[in-house]
Structure 1
Amino acid sequence: MSSAQKTVSVFMALISAMLVLILGLYTGWPAWAWPLTVILLGAAWAGVTFATLRTNRGRPLSETVTAPPVPEVERRELPVEDIALPSALADYDFLFSATIRWCPEKPYAQETGTHHGGLALQAIVERAGAVTLAHQPLRSSLIQQELSGALAEMLPDRGGRIRAMALDVVLRLSEDDQRRLDRLAAIRKDEELWEHERKQEKSKRDYLGHDVLQNTGRAVVWWLARNDEKVERTVNDIGLLAQLTSAANNEQVAEPFRHLVPGAAVEEAAEVVRDPADLFTEFMRQMGFKPGDDACVMVADQVARAIKDKDADTAEEIRTRFAPPEESPEESREESADLSPDQGTVGEEGGDGGDGTEE
């Protein structure tokens, strides 16, 4: 008899004795019935035990005690390395490494043909991808901490067959992608810096062009404020400020400040002396003459003849400006000579007239 059978026999004997005791007390047995009941009960159990031993005699132990088969223990940890996970930036994937741990959702359920490790890997990759897809691949170390927390709990998979978690999580980028992102970050920083500098420069130009140098008066007030209200120095610099204002607005120096600009009056006088043809042209325009008209050509030719001995270049310039488009200056001069009265002709006409009178 095995130890298990002995234990069962003793247990059943105790239960039987308790039942007989309860029955005797309830029915009020006489004193002589108690020893007889105990003898009968012991004999009955002795017979049962003897019959059991006789039945199992000669049988091997493996036949008398059948132990349940020990199920094959499935390894419940799986290391994975460099699994690509998507990021919020296209074509830039994270590389995920970790140790995946799992357990069956129902430990005593018999599931044949199921690879729990594959289910655990699928569940962890899905959970990790949902986290990384919401982040830019710029700070992988920070995202790694968030991912470690998200995968640190045993959670069931979609089919409810296993629970899985991940340990020793490592999240990184490939060397090529990291190098590209570093270059893009450097370029982006340079562009932002250049944009700020451009805006600052444009702001200065707008301030100077549309406010400070809008006119000479504004420039003088600005210069006075910049020089701690040094009036004498500001007064001495009014000519320079007038020049700056005129240059900024692409115009000549205003008349009230022209005398403060060194050499301005001399240049204006030289310009008048240097361009007499322009003065004559303006005179003809104000008088209503139009270039090409017969009267205009005649007047211009007479003026050119008058000043030819003093300034041949100016005379030629005047004759050229007012000559008809289809005629050259020489033809215009010859035509004017033919049309103008000649002193010899007048004498001849007078002589003829005199002769006629005398006759």
Structure 2
Amino acid sequence: MSSAQKTVSVFMALISAMLVLILGLYAAWPAWAWPVAVVVLCSAWAGARFATLRTNRGKPLSETVTAPPAPEVERRELCVQDISLPSALKDYDFLFSATIRWCPEKPYAQENGTYHGGLALQAIVDRAGKVTLAHQPFRSSLVQHELSGVLAEMLPDRGGRIRAMALEVVLRLSEDDQRRLDRLAAIRKDEELWEHERKQEKNKRDYLGHDVLQDTGRAVVWWLARNGEKVERTVADIGLLAQLTSAANNEQVAEPFRHLVPGAVQEKAADVFEGPTDLFTEFMRQMGFKPGDDTCVMVADQVAMAVKDKDPAISEEIRKRFAPAEEPEDAGEGEGGDAAAETPSPGTAEEGPGAPPTDPDSITED
């Protein structure tokens, strides 16, 4: 009989004795009835025990003896805070916090001087580091959710001595690193925006400079395409488009459109006076000097002398351009020239001293 059965038997015997005692007192049994009741009660319990032993005789021990229940596997927990884990960006580490839970791989294994908490911590850190190393630190909250799923399973460590998992995972960056990353992100966004704006501006310049404003004709066609219903306005703006085209190509307004651009005619006249002599001639003209006048000849002479050392060719050109007109040679010059000079020509006395000589042919005809 097992200890449990014995305990039950003793407990039932006590209850039976108390019931007989209560019944005897209530019925007021005589003195001789009490010993008889005790003998009957003991005989009944002896018979019941004998019957129980006879029933269990021949049965295997496993059916009669109940094995003690297995002790509950002890689970342990460890809280860690701000453990540095590497990220894909150098010098920017994640800070890992979690509650680590572990248990021995074998339920009845003894520690034998080994701290299983350290093994569990190493196992969790190794698993977490493999995840964080593949991610940039810009998305720490997103990596935290992924890490929570990876560490939610109880897995063995490398030595197979414990199984570990992590709960309440928190992954973050230090305040300084987060501030730096936010600033880098803002700068990167500004640079990207500036680059797009620069490309857009460059495309516009290439389009206008190499296509639209290549010549006035293309500019007029482009303007007409943008203002298709305003032909008169396009015609009125041809001069403006010619100016834009000439400015875009660093050249003078094209000849066919100069009459549409105010000041273009003056530019053309100025083009004639490109040499120093031409410029000086225009200066003398603007000042009111006329070639052949004494004052004009004197001024031209002085300028020619002043520039002779610098450029003799220009000096000679100025003298020739402003020199007085040469007088025609007299017919009697040479031998006897003086006598001829003194002899007045026919009609000279009548015409006066300032009159030009008379043509001999006209005299003969008369």
What TM-score, normalized by structure 1, do the two folds share?
Answer: 0.62
2:304 is matched with: 315
In structure 1, what residue type is equivalent to 2:254?
A
CA distance in structure 2 between the aligned counterparts of 1:261 and 1:320, rounded to whole angstroms: 42
In structure 2, what residue type is equivalent to 1:216?
T
2:203 is matched with: 203
Alignment of 1:144-293 (within 5 A): 144-272=144-272, 275=274, 277=276, 279=278
C-alpha displacement of 1:232: 1.5
CA distance in structure 1 between the aligned counterparts of 2:279 and 2:114, rounded to whole angstroms: 110
CA distance in structure 2 between the aligned counterparts of 1:81 and 1:93, rounded to whole angstroms: 14
CA distance in structure 2 between the aligned counterparts of 1:170 and 1:179, rounded to whole angstroms: 19
C-alpha spacing 1:257/1:166, structure 2 compared with 1 (3 Å): same
Indicate conservation of the 8 Å contact 1:277/1:318, yes or no: no
CA distance in structure 2 between the aligned counterparts of 1:201 and 1:253, rounded to whole angstroms: 26
CA distance in structure 1 between the aligned counterparts of 2:92 and 2:265, rounded to whole angstroms: 71
In structure 2, what residue type is equivalent to 1:277?
P
C-alpha spacing 1:153/1:311, structure 2 compared with 1 (3 Å): same
SS in 1 for 2:298: coil
In structure 2, what residue type is equivalent to 1:255?
E
Indicate conservation of the 8 Å contact 2:213/2:248, yes or no: yes
2:363 is matched with: none
Report how many aligned residue pairs link the two structures.
Answer: 253
CA distance in structure 2 between the aligned counterparts of 1:85 and 1:102, rounded to whole angstroms: 21
In the TM superposition, what whole-angstrom CA distance separates every residue of 1:219-259 from its partner, at most 9, and x where no partner exists? 00011112234221111111111111111111111112122
Q: Identity over aligned residues, as a percent?
A: 75
C-alpha displacement of 1:316: 5.5
Alignment of 1:330-341 (within 5 A): none
In the TM superposition, what whole-angstrom CA distance separates every residue of 1:89-146 from its partner, at most 9, and x where no partner exists? 0000000000000011111123401111000000000000000000000011111000
C-alpha spacing 1:277/1:104, structure 2 compared with 1 (3 Å): same
SS in 2 for 1:252: coil
C-alpha spacing 1:12/1:136, structure 2 compared with 1 (3 Å): farther
CA distance in structure 2 between the aligned counterparts of 1:13 and 1:88, rounded to whole angstroms: 78
1:124 is matched with: 124
C-alpha displacement of 1:268: 2.6
2:108 is matched with: 108
Indicate conservation of the 8 Å contact 2:75/2:103, yes or no: no
Worse-superposed segment, 202-211 or 226-235: 226-235
Instruction: Point out where structure 1 has 5 or more consecutive residues left out of the alignment.
Output: 20-67, 282-305, 333-349, 352-359
Alignment of 1:16-165 (within 5 A): 16=57, 76-165=76-165
SS in 2 for 1:101: strand
Instruction: Point out where structure 2 has 5 or more consecutive residues left out of the alignment.
Output: 8-48, 61-67, 281-294, 317-333, 336-366
SS in 2 for 1:189: helix
CA distance in structure 2 between the aligned counterparts of 1:249 and 1:270, rounded to whole angstroms: 20
CA distance in structure 1 between the aligned counterparts of 2:58 and 2:200, rounded to whole angstroms: 105
In structure 1, what residue type is equivalent to 2:77?
E
CA distance in structure 2 between the aligned counterparts of 1:267 and 1:313, rounded to whole angstroms: 30
CA distance in structure 2 between the aligned counterparts of 1:239 and 1:212, rounded to whole angstroms: 15
In the TM superposition, what whole-angstrom CA distance separates every residue of 1:292-325 from its partner, at most 9, and x where no partner exists? xxxxxxxxxxxxxx9753546863576355339x
**What is the root-mean-square deviation of aligned Cα atoms in Å?**
3.7
C-alpha spacing 1:230/1:159, structure 2 compared with 1 (3 Å): same
C-alpha spacing 1:313/1:205, structure 2 compared with 1 (3 Å): farther
CA distance in structure 1 between the aligned counterparts of 2:270 and 2:187, rounded to whole angstroms: 56
CA distance in structure 2 between the aligned counterparts of 1:18 and 1:239, rounded to whole angstroms: 124
In structure 1, what residue type is equivalent to 2:276?
A
CA distance in structure 1 between the aligned counterparts of 2:165 and 2:59, rounded to whole angstroms: 53
In structure 1, what residue type is equivalent to 2:97?
S
Larger Cα-atom Rg: 2
CA distance in structure 1 between the aligned counterparts of 2:106 and 2:297, rounded to whole angstroms: 123
Indicate conservation of the 8 Å contact 1:308/1:315, yes or no: no
C-alpha spacing 1:206/1:137, structure 2 compared with 1 (3 Å): same
What TM-score, normalized by structure 2, do the two folds share?
Answer: 0.61
